């Protein structure tokens, strides 16, 4: 069993990646935009986008990031009589965002494969498997609570630091009149961060409780034998 300790660590390390990036993928589905744009208190666009406009044009940028579509999907987008349109600076930023998104979800896919392989390798030693899952859940909870607290207490710092880590200096700063800000105001990103955090915490709690219950059941069976 001692020789399988590295598999326990592998499971533990994979859990936060799967839960966090899995939650990000869930937030990038249509339901979140629908919820945000129609909920009470979501900031209106002072430059003229209606809720219907946002529901129409908002998902297209998400589609661009998640598909093989070329940047022309956004460059050639017809905003009708709204007077909106993506600037070259915004289009350049969206290219960067797509690259980051692809890298993140590639990491998610690779991690899922590694995770499934490690779980399969530990399947015949369930005690070790459930230890890895429990500690993975605890690691996730610790990390996500720290991130969520940072976002709530110092959102501006958190938001700026995130962009500085993943994007070139100055490429992600826009005017309030720019289309990206009108479709996705700062409140949208604040809510998205909290939702990702909430989904991740929920997933970690369920995983911890399930692994603890299953581990206890295995221990009781072993004791009975």
User: CA-based Rg of the chain, rounded to a whole angstrom?
Assistant: 21
Q: Which of 39, 43, 74 is nearest to 59 (CA)?
A: 74
Range of the domain at 25: 2-224
Q: How many domains does the chain have?
A: 1
pLDDT at res. 2: 46
pLDDT surpasses 50 at 18: yes
Is residue 187 within a helix (H) or strand (E), and if so which, with residue range?
helix 186-224
pLDDT surpasses 80 at 96: yes
pLDDT surpasses 70 at 138: yes
pLDDT surpasses 80 at 221: no
Q: Which stretches within the chain are classed as H helix?
A: 5-27, 30-38, 51-66, 72-75, 88-121, 126-153, 155-166, 179-183, 186-224
CA distance 180 to 188: 11
pLDDT surpasses 60 at 46: yes
CA distance 208 to 130: 9
CA distance 29 to 24: 9
Contacts (Cβ under 8 Å, ≥6 apart) of 141: 201, 204, 205, 208
CA distance 58 to 54: 5
- Mean pLDDT (the chain) is 90
- At 109-118, the pLDDT tens digits run 999 999 999 9
- What is the mean pLDDT of the segment spanning 63-90? 93
Is residue 70 within a helix (H) or strand (E), and if so which, with residue range?
none
- Distances in Å between the Cα of 66 and the Cα atoms of 69, 108, 193, 195 are 8, 14, 19, 19
pLDDT at res. 102: 95
pLDDT at res. 225: 42
What is the crossing angle of helices 30-38 and 51-66, to 10°?
160
Which tokens hold the place of 26? 């869930």
Q: Residue 141: how many CB atoms within 10 A of its CB? A: 19
Which tokens hold the place of 153? 């207490």
pLDDT surpasses 50 at 74: yes
105 confidence band (pLDDT: 50, 70, 90) = very high
User: Is the distance from CB of 54 to CB of 45 less than 8 angstroms?
Assistant: yes
Question: How many percent of the chain have pLDDT more than 90?
Answer: 70
- At 146-175, the pLDDT tens digits run 887 877 787 788 777 777 777 777 677 788
């Amino acid at each position: 069993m001692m020789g399988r300790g590295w598999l326990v660590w592998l499971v533990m390390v994979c859990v936060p990646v799967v839960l966090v990036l899995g939650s990000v993928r869930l937030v990038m589905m249509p339901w979140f935009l629908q919820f945000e744009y129609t909920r009470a208190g979501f900031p209106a666009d002072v430059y003229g986008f209606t809720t219907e406009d946002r529901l129409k044009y908002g998902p297209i940028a998400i589609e661009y990031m998640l598909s093989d579509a070329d940047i022309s999907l956004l460059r050639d987008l017809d905003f009708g009589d709204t007077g909106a349109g993506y600037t070259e600076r915004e289009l350049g930023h969206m290219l960067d965002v797509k690259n980051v998104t692809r890298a993140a979800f590639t990491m998610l896919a690779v991690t899922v494969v590694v995770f499934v392989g490690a779980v399969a390798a530990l399947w015949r030693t369930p005690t070790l498997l459930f230890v890895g899952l429990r500690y993975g859940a605890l690691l996730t909870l610790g990390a996500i609570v720290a991130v969520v607290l940072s976002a709530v207490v110092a959102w501006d710092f958190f938001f700026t630091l995130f962009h500085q880590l993943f994007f070139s200096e100055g490429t992600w700063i826009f005017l309030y009149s720019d289309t990206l800000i009108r479709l996705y105001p700062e409140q949208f990103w604040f809510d998205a961060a909290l939702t990702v955090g909430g989904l991740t915490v929920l997933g970690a709690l369920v995983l911890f409780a399930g692994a603890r219950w299953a581990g206890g059941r295995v221990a009781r069976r072993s004791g009975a034998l």
